[in-house]
Chains A and B, each alone.
Chain A
Amino acid sequence: DGGITQSPKYLFRKEGQNVTLSCEQNLNHDAMYWYRQDPGQGLRLIYYSQIVNDFQKGDIAEGYSVSREKKESFPLTVTSAQKNPTAFYLCASSQQGADTGELFFGEGSRLTVL
């Protein structure tokens, strides 16, 4: 079945460690996104990519990094520079067009810093 796969579902990290969250899609979508979700707040955009080998910062990119070496993959690295990394992270994709279009989401990755 077509969809977006995020892994791991749960991740625990010690302070000072970098962690990488995986996002893979088989929908043949051009655009991919990473969002952060905190309780009681709307989703906030971390990074997005419209095409392979290109990506742009969102509203809260500091302390995060991404790569887009393949169309189907858009991993997110949470670096030790991120001050408050404990959150629920959501990856999404859409077919590129004049607007964002319908978004498809993965099941999310919950990161907890110990």
Chain B
Amino acid sequence: KQEVTQIPAALSVPEGENLVLNCSFTDSAIYNLQWFRQDPGKGLTSLLLIQSSQREQTSGRLNASLDKSSGRSTLYIAASQPGDSATYLCAVDGGNYQLIWGAGTKLIIKP
């Protein structure tokens, strides 16, 4: 059974730092992995989707990598800003429309 883990559960860093969020999964048989952002009391916004055949995806200051063999994905945020403060969730698509979700990392960027 696929399990998705995000560590740490919370992270606080000063503005301007580069940072890495982690997502690990137990079963490498996946179609894709997605990263989302969620602001308090709001819905989720898709950030990046990495297909199983891809190694990374980039959007602006965000870069997501995927290593299926080790069961890991990282979300790299460059030059962090206070507006980046949110909860970041990853989800693994193993097929049959069943995404398996991590519990998220709550990120706080201190001005």
Contacts and interface: CB of A to CB of B under 8 A. Distances in A.
Contacts of B9: 40
Contacts of B97: 31, 33, 48, 50, 56, 100
B101 interface: yes
Given A45-B98, A107-B42, A110-B41, A99 B103 contact: no
Contacts of B99: 43, 45, 100, 103
Interface string A52-67: 0000101100000000
Nearest to A106: B43
B62 interface: no
Nearest to B6: A42
Q: Which of B9, B95, B103 has the most CB of A within 10 A?
A: B103
A99 B32 contact: yes
A99 B31 contact: yes
Which label, helix, strand, loop or mixed, suits the secondary structure of the B interface? strand
A44 B104 CA distance: 13
Contacts of A21: none
A96 to B, nearest CB: 9
A41 interface: yes
A43 B101 contact: yes
A104 B46 contact: yes
B103 A42 contact: yes
A81 to B, nearest CB: 23
Interface in B39-58: 41-46, 49
B104 to A, nearest CB: 7
Given A41-B103, A42-B101, A100 B42 contact: no
A90 interface: yes
Contact of B100 (A40, A42, A104, A108): A42
B34 interface: yes
B95 A99 contact: yes
B49 A105 contact: no
Interface string B62-85: 000000000000000000000000
Interface of B: 4, 9, 31-32, 34, 36, 41-46, 49, 89, 91, 93, 95, 97-104
